[in-house]
Structure formats: C-alpha cells, structure tokens
Structure 1
C-alpha cells in the first residue's frame, strides 16, 4: 500500500515542489481571508446565520471537521514511505502537531456544553482546510524535512518548542474556562474571567496562535510558517470580533482588556 501511494504521489522532487506551492497558496488564501474578514465575521457560534447553509450540530461539526487534521497525517506517516521518521527533530515536530489535533478532534468536541450549531459552509471549509493542511504538514515532516543532527539543541528549536507548549496549555486552559462559564441549566453568554482572560478577550485564540508560531519557529519551514500565518489571520479576526461583541453586549465588561495581545491590542 505504501509503495502504491508513493508512486501515486509522483517523484520526490515533483512532490516537494507541490508541497511548496501548497504553502504559498495557503499564504495567499490567508491574505484573501484577511480582507474578507474585514467585512464579514467567521459564521460560527454567536455569528451563525442560515445564509451560510443548514446548521450542523456543534459537537458533530467539530469532530468531523477537525478529524482529517489528525487522520490524514497519521495515514501519511504509517502508510507511505516516511524517509525522515527516524530523525528526532521530525519525530518531535510531528508529536507537537499530533498532540494538538488529538486533543482538538478526539477530546475537545465531546467536552462542548451547549453551543450553537455550525453553518454547513463553515463546517465544509474547515473540513477541507484540515485535509489540506494535514497532508501538507504530515507529508513534509515525515518524508522531506531535513535537519542537522544537533537541531534539537539549537536555540530556535528549543524556544519554538517552549512557545508551542505554552500556547498549547493556554489554549486548553482557556477552553476549560469558557466551558465552565455556565452552571448546569443556565443559558446565555457570560463574561469569562481567569487565566489570560483577565487581559484579553481572545485568550483561547492567543494560545493557539502562540502554539503554531512556536511550531513554525522550531520547524523553520515555509510549510509551518504558512500554517502559522493562516492561523494568525483567522484567529486574530475572531478575537477582535469577540472583543467588539463583548463590549457591545456587556456594559460592565472590563475596559482594560484588549482583544488579543495583553496591554497592546
């Protein structure tokens, strides 16, 4: 099966060029998305609307749309020739990636309490992105990424790995705070407090942005940089939209809080 898939994917040089083009396309799409989101919020959760398609149950949507980001690279790693899988830097970078999406696809969806349905268009776009990015990151790191033997001891890798871990913990902790805002039986929105929510409205978004920025710093590739840039564009837009929404909805919302970056923005 692995040999068949490798032959299907074509010569190494050709596939490596394809992966680079996919990365540049992701950067281009991030720029397009940036300008689009200046005029339209991402249609999910509190911004859901039927003009973007029929509603999909929020737990089902999160599980199905995020699952390819975990399954596709897992398939790539175990069913194709992973020439670089024996290298420690590649193993650690793949571990970072898989840790995030294991939590995001197999744990997070089943912890959601309530939540509005997701419009089909948002669900479909997220699903396609996870397939696309899952293949891009998994294939590059398992077959093509080449690092020196001492890469894991270099400052860029160490600082990037620490950033990834800090971002991951912020993201998980912030999701925990949001999940426990309402007591059983309560409905409606509440102001989040605790953790980085004391300083920013988008603490969960900030955590994920830090995560993938650290991943890109540790990886030092255009493939990871494209992913980090796309994440920054989409999640910073969500943070700004949430911040604006909180200020409009709650008169007592802390005026000292920023949208995404403590004390600055």
Structure 2
C-alpha cells in the first residue's frame, strides 16, 4: 500500500496534516450529528424505516459495514512501512482497537438472532464511517504517533486502558444479555435484566462509550478524541431513545433504572 499512499500524499508531513484534518472534520460531523439526532433517531433496529432505503439483512449488514474497520487497519499495519508498530504504546493501543473490531466484525454479526433489517442508508453510512475511521486511527498509531518511553506507566495510559477493558467487557456482556432475552422461536421485545442493565437502559451503549473514552485517554490524540466524541454523541442518543421506548412500552419497567449513567441520568 505504500505506493498508493505515495500517490495520494507527496510527503509524510502532508499525510499527517491530512490525518489531523480528518480528525477535525470528524468533530464537525459529530456536532452536526448531535443536532440531527435532536429530531431523529438513528434509523436502524427498532427505529428502521423504508424511507431510508431498501432493507439489508441484519447479519449481512453488520458484517459488511464493520469489516472495513478491521480490514483497512490490517492492510495498513501489514502492508505499509508502519514505522511505529515496534513501540510498546503503539502496539497496545492497536491491540485495543483490533480486539474491539475483531469481535464486532467477525463474531458479533453471526451471533445476531432475528435482528431487524438495516435500511440501506444506515448501512452505507456505517460502512463509510468504518473505512474512514479505520484509516484515521490505524495510520496515525502505526506510523505517526510518538509516545515517551515511559508512556505505558503513566496515569493517563493506565487509567485509559482500565477504562477501555471495563467498557469492552460491559459491552460484550450486555450484548450477550440482549441476545438471550428471547427463547428460540420467540418474537417481540422483553425488558433486559442482569449486569449493568440493572442500572441503565443503554448498558451496551454505555460500555462502548466508556471503551472509546478510555482509548482516547490512553492514546492522547485528537484522532482518538474525535472518535470518542462521535461515539458518545451517537450512542448516547440511542440509549436515551431506548429508555423512552422501554418506558412507553412496558408499564412495569423499573422506575429506578436510568437511561445512560448509573444512578444519575
């Protein structure tokens, strides 16, 4: 891929500048997305609508749309002069990223049970975002990110890594709970219970938000921060919509359960 990158960028300084601009553009898109989500739910799952395009099978949609987030970084790490991959901080941060997207693209889609089809517009936007963000995160970490020799022992990296791991475990466990709400052959919705769902309606979203906030703290860059901000905006909107939906649908929905932050909100 090095010849392709040399064709696109005349120098490493130009590529690094492009990566910075991509991060700033993601922050701009996060702000615009925030405004949009004040009036509209993200149109997939229970909020899917045919006005956003023809439906794509849920398993196929999740597999294809998430795959660029894994495939693009793998190509960048394996088939470019990834100058920083020999350094421990960069290796650990890339491992965090790959751990999430290996599970999300190669495991999670095939565990889905009867998910609602995804409108094509949502599928296409997710595919584009995963390719865009995959290049942004992996190229910066594998080729440009500079960290002090003792970075992995500093509080920011340690606390960020702990947050990432806790968020990843909450996310995976919450998805497991959601998958097992229905018995084989059952349809309809049930109230999730167990794990962090005992405290909030959006436990799976909360886990992923904590995960990428920790990643941003450990990576300490505008690129990882932009990803975390975008994730928080999209998933917090999703969690709040789910909370309202549960309360409207189930009269016996736990009154003490919050939407997004245990005991607070």
Could you tell me which residue of structure 2 aligns to residue 164 of structure 1? 164
SS in 2 for 1:178: helix
Could you tell me which residue of structure 2 aligns to residue 21 of structure 1? 21
Matches of residues 112-261 of structure 1 in structure 2 within 5 Å? 112-261=112-261
Q: CA deviation at 1:259?
A: 0.6
SS in 1 for 2:182: coil
Could you tell me which residue of structure 1 aligns to residue 30 of structure 2? 30
Q: Which runs of 5+ in 1 are unaligned?
A: none
Q: CA deviation at 1:27?
A: 0.5
1:5 maps onto 2:1 in alignment: no
Could you tell me which residue of structure 2 aligns to residue 79 of structure 1? 79
TM-score by length of structure 1 reads 0.99
- Take 2:81 and 2:227, find their aligned partners in 1: how far apart are those partners? 23
Q: Is the 8 A contact 1:199 1:257 kept in 2?
A: yes
- Take 2:13 and 2:203, find their aligned partners in 1: how far apart are those partners? 41
Q: CA deviation at 1:7?
A: 1.4
How many residues are treated as equivalent by the alignment? 264
SS in 2 for 1:241: helix
Q: Is the 8 A contact 1:66 1:127 kept in 2?
A: yes
SS in 1 for 2:82: coil
Q: Is the 8 A contact 1:212 1:231 kept in 2?
A: yes
Can you list the C-alpha shifts for 1:173-198, whole angstroms capped at 9, x where unaligned?
00000000000111100000000000
- Take 1:163 and 1:3, find their aligned partners in 2: how far apart are those partners? 34
Can you list the C-alpha shifts for 1:115-164, whole angstroms capped at 9, x where unaligned?
10000000000000000000000000000000011110111100100000
Q: Is the 8 A contact 1:5 1:80 kept in 2?
A: no
Q: Which runs of 5+ in 2 are unaligned?
A: none
Could you tell me which residue of structure 2 aligns to residue 56 of structure 1? 56
Q: CA deviation at 1:4?
A: 1.1
- Take 1:5 and 1:140, find their aligned partners in 2: how far apart are those partners? 17
Can you list the C-alpha shifts for 1:8-46, whole angstroms capped at 9, x where unaligned?
242111111100000000001001000100100000010
Can you list the C-alpha shifts for 1:66-105, whole angstroms capped at 9, x where unaligned?
0000000110111111011110000000000000000000
Structure 1 segments (4+ residues) deviating >3 Å: none
Q: Is the 8 A contact 1:160 1:216 kept in 2?
A: yes
TM-score by length of structure 2 reads 0.99
Could you tell me which residue of structure 1 aligns to residue 105 of structure 2? 105
CA RMSD of aligned residues (A): 0.7
SS in 2 for 1:183: coil
